[in-house]
Structure 1
Amino acid sequence: MSLTSALTSAMSGLRAASRGSEIVSSNIANANTPGYVRRTLSISSDTGGGAVGVRINGVVRHVDQQIINDRRLAGAETGYRSETTSALTRIEDLIGTPDSAGSLAARVADFEQSLITASSRPDATERLTSVAFAAKDLAQSIATVAGGIQDARTQADRSIDAQVTRLNDALKGVETLNSRIVASNASGTDIAALQDQRQQLIDEISEMVPVRTVPRDHGAVALYSTGGAILLEGRAVEVGFDPANTVTPYESIGDGTLSGLTLNGVSINTSSANGRLHGGTLGAQFEIRDEIAPAAQAQVDAIARDLIERFEDSAVDPTLAAGDAGLFTDEGNPLDATTELGLATRLSLNALVDPDQGGETWRIRDGLGAAAPGDAGESTLLIALTDVLGATRTQASGSFGPSPLSVEGVVASLSSQIGTDRLREDRQLSFANAQFTELTQIELADGVDTDAEIQNLMILEQAYAANARVISTVDEMFDTLMRI
């Protein structure tokens, strides 16, 4: 080997060692940086033109794309189950458990107890007043549950709007990074940092919508949802959504009063069964708004209907004429089965017996349609009201099954249904979270090991020193030759 060749070889070795040290230092510095991927320098022997040295081929990012894809899908499932579990927990808390004060079951029990107490002393005005307020508390509790359900739908609608904005921004970001990566590849510039940024954006997208990445030419990627929607293929799609200020029981995606999603202006399915973007936090919010909450609302409306029907029966209160409202009303009106939707939000105590509206509580004892107070010691109607509250009957609406139920039984059935759904989602959440944690650990295992990186740095320092020594030796030999 000539002195010139030795010098060239040593200089290339210095460059490789220096670049390698930079990469190792970057690995150590970013060991805890989210989204950072471990890099190594790819080198090979350079024998072109008869010279011997080190060729720097580029920087290699060490990623297992299959693990990343699986981790993203598990993360999307975790987010989805977390949102649905949270919604069911909220509804369960609104209804309450039978042993909790203020629950629907407790309100029914308080109302029944007030009727029993009043029937033992029908002449006691304060006991009749207690019945009125217990009935009013029950109606207000049912309305509060219904209102809470609609609040959950409103919050879901707002979350959808916020996530659509984030999704569009992230998709545009990936499109921009794709272009920069392609351009950098063409110019031979290092693209590792750009790839890290793109991976972080895709991770953000996958939390909202489970996606799969498909490699394209020159380092670009395409994004497809697991439901088959094209999110990015060259250009990012525009996801459209029109938020509602407040969601009411009378609005639904089915009748067009609530917005669905569009991709570049084309409407897509957002249901839990066939939704094109279902599976992440975005799909979970649609399921809460359009399926979970409306189903719970329908059950609560059925309870309100059952309560009104029981107490507007003239067989229970003979003073009621056909078409008269009973003890519980639809905002002062008798039941209209064709307008059951949203009935729970309109449920109220009849103003004739509501002290807060100037009502007279003796009507609870003598009948809502009575012209004047009757015998103060007569408890027949109070006993009838108690009996009808505890009587079992088949529900005219809702999904409570064919078995006859009392009011207490209907409330208990609803509480059980919501609790069962919540427990099922909670189990699914636990499984998804365990899977996500395990895949994350597997991914991290291929990340930066600072101990190994420090060892690599020491090896590179030795290589640098060796190449520097070669250069120094060649320089001394040139000096010797020049002095001859």
Structure 2
Amino acid sequence: MGSDLFSIGRTSLNASKKSLSTTSHNIANANTEGYSRQRVNLESATPIGEGNIVIGSGVSIKSVKRVHDQLVEENLNDALTKHQFNETRTSHLSSMEQIFNEINSDGLNKVMNRFFNSFRELSNQPENEVVRTLVRDNAQLVVEDFHRISEEITQVKSRMDKEIRASVEEINQLGTTITRLNKEIVRLENVGGETGDLRDQRDMAVRALSEFTEVKGYEAGRGEYVVNLVGWGSLVAGGSLNPLVARDVTGNKQSGSYSNEGRLEIAFEKSGKAASNLTEKKGSGSLGAIVKTRNEELEFLRDQLDEMAHSLVHITNAIHRKGFVNKKIPTDQQGNLIVRPGDPKITGINFFKEPLGKERASGNIAISDEVMDDLTNIATGLEPNSPGDNRIALAISKVQHEKLLGDGTKTIEEMYLETSSSIGLASSKAQINAEQSGGIVAQARSIKERISGVNLDEEATNMVKYQQAYQASAKMIRTADEMFDSVLEMIR
């Protein structure tokens, strides 16, 4: 009898001690991010048969497991993926929106209006040198603003490319962490129970990974977790990492960049070589948002700006070349113009330098050397030696209101305003989506916290309960000891 009591008391004492230890561990990690509270699972020990009766033999510790719901975990990861996509889109679109905003008196739309107005004023005073200077100065402001916006777009693209590279590095680091934890979990769980703390750390790494791109995973074997990047392939599988790589490649317009501008490519790297191109598989998460925004809205901004610059140069030059310089040109007795070899051009002069093409026109726009060097080379009339002829200046001023862009459906100003408003609309939509997805993330976190989080009041109650059980178990052992001593005394 004493032996049975000793045995039962020992199992009870051990179970209470393990439960107290687990409760203490929960309390210690109450503020540890990603920690899932742990619970000791007990079961009755195998009973012992004695004659025609069966007597219980105490309690055994079945397992120590974390309180965890994989579906809740996956829902949180999915919510984070969508939210980071919306948050990142909001951030980048907001910065792009500022590029076209008329926040001061020198915005592109305003300086273009002043440029056309100065030609309109020149049509009223074709001989006025002050007005000619104003035309050239306003044209230079247009050039500088095109250059400014073009450079800002280039800088935004450069920042996005840096973010993509940093994201790829972070994804690889998280993949390395998951691979390492996989190996540790497999090693420990093959000889023991669940490693709750390591599994929590791995879940945290997967959760961080899901902020960059959509992740789906599953447990392939005892403790090993396979991580798939949705639409791309496996990042972690078979105990090994399949890292990503970001590199510069020559692009073209069809693939989303200019032929003379480097394009960043994301690929899986195997045996030191890039595998499949992932750049166009935009995906979700913050990385997907950067790639999408860079390849779509930023390219749209560049295309629109280049079309405006190219159209302004092309139409202005086409009209300006028809006019004559504003200076006295010698004539013979019949009134024919006398033009000798080597004489400066008197007509066919471009107001702007002709760009090589539409691509990067906004970055290359410039006033022609002839106009920069000599104000009289600004043509105002269709006829030579006609001081009051204003037809060329008037025609250029009317370009402001002509529908020359978008296949003849928009003026330059309309395209500018449409471009600005479209980016603003996309930014507003992304912000609304971010607010909504942020609420979903908060809800998903709350659900996970209710299931897996540490409740200090509950743990304090458990501690008292297990402490009392421990004391009772100790008393049981003392009682068994006293009974055993009594038996020995009787024998003596």
The TM-score bracket by the shorter chain reads 0.7 to 0.9
Q: Quick one: which of 48, 56, 64 aligns to 2:61?
A: 56
Deviations 1:292-319 (A, max 9, x none): 3222211111111111112101367513
Number of the residue aligned with 2:350:
326
Distance 2:445 2:371 in 1: 62
1:344 aligns with 2:352: no
Distance 1:19 1:227 in 2: 45
Distance 1:281 1:199 in 2: 19
For the aligned residues, what is the CA RMSD?
A: 3.3
Distance 1:404 1:480 in 2: 109
Quick one: structure 1 residues 121 and 248, their matched pair in 2 at CA, closer, same or farther if it must change by over 3 Å? farther
Residues 249-398 of structure 1: pairs in structure 2 closer than 5 A: 257-263=262-268, 264=270, 265=273, 267-270=275-278, 275=281, 278-314=283-319, 317-319=322-324, 326-329=350-353, 334-336=354-356, 339-354=357-372, 359-364=373-378, 366=380, 375=387, 380-393=391-404, 395=405
Deviations 1:231-252 (A, max 9, x none): 2221334334243499999995
Distance 1:282 1:350 in 2: 43
CA contact (8 A) 2:247 2:266 kept: no
Number of the residue aligned with 1:461:
467
Quick one: structure 1 residues 63 and 102, their matched pair in 2 at CA, closer, same or farther if it must change by over 3 Å? farther
Distance 1:107 1:12 in 2: 87
Number of the residue aligned with 1:164:
168
Specify every segment of 5 or more residues in structure 2 that has no aligned partner in the other structure, as ranges: 50-55, 326-344
Deviations 1:314-345 (A, max 9, x none): 3675138899563333xxxx244xx2211111
Residues 12-23 of structure 1: pairs in structure 2 closer than 5 A: 12-23=11-22
Distance 1:444 1:72 in 2: 14
Q: Residue 366 of structure 2 aligns to a residue in which SS?
A: strand
1:174 aligns with 2:190: no
For residue 441 of structure 2, what is the amino acid of its counterpart?
Answer: F
Distance 2:132 2:149 in 1: 26
Distance 1:27 1:237 in 2: 32
Q: Residue 314 of structure 1 aligns to a residue in which SS?
A: helix
Q: Name whichever of 434-443 and 46-55 sits farther off.
A: 46-55
Distance 2:438 2:317 in 1: 50
Distance 1:10 1:269 in 2: 65
The Cα of 1:152 is off from its aligned counterpart by 1.9
Number of matched residues? Answer: 460
Quick one: structure 1 residues 130 and 54, their matched pair in 2 at CA, closer, same or farther if it must change by over 3 Å? farther
Quick one: structure 1 residues 121 and 22, their matched pair in 2 at CA, closer, same or farther if it must change by over 3 Å? farther
The Cα of 1:57 is off from its aligned counterpart by 1.6
- Taking structure 1 as the reference length, the TM-score comes to 0.84
Number of the residue aligned with 1:104:
108
1:40 aligns with 2:39: yes
CA contact (8 A) 2:304 2:419 kept: yes
For residue 59 of structure 2, what is the amino acid of its counterpart?
Answer: V
Q: Residue 224 of structure 1 aligns to a residue in which SS?
A: strand
1:477 aligns with 2:483: yes
The Cα of 1:289 is off from its aligned counterpart by 3.4
Quick one: structure 1 residues 246 and 285, their matched pair in 2 at CA, closer, same or farther if it must change by over 3 Å? farther
Q: Quick one: which of 140, 143, 151 aligns to 1:136?
A: 140
Distance 1:340 1:46 in 2: 83
The Cα of 1:291 is off from its aligned counterpart by 3.2
1:216 aligns with 2:234: no
* Amino-acid identity (%): 22
Deviations 1:190-239 (A, max 9, x none): 51111011111111211112111112221221112222512222133433
1:93 aligns with 2:98: yes
Quick one: structure 1 residues 113 and 468, their matched pair in 2 at CA, closer, same or farther if it must change by over 3 Å? farther
For residue 270 of structure 1, what is the amino acid of its counterpart?
Answer: L
CA contact (8 A) 1:40 1:61 kept: yes
Q: Residue 370 of structure 2 aligns to a residue in which SS?
A: coil
CA contact (8 A) 2:251 2:258 kept: no
Q: Residue 209 of structure 1 aligns to a residue in which SS?
A: coil
The Cα of 1:69 is off from its aligned counterpart by 0.9
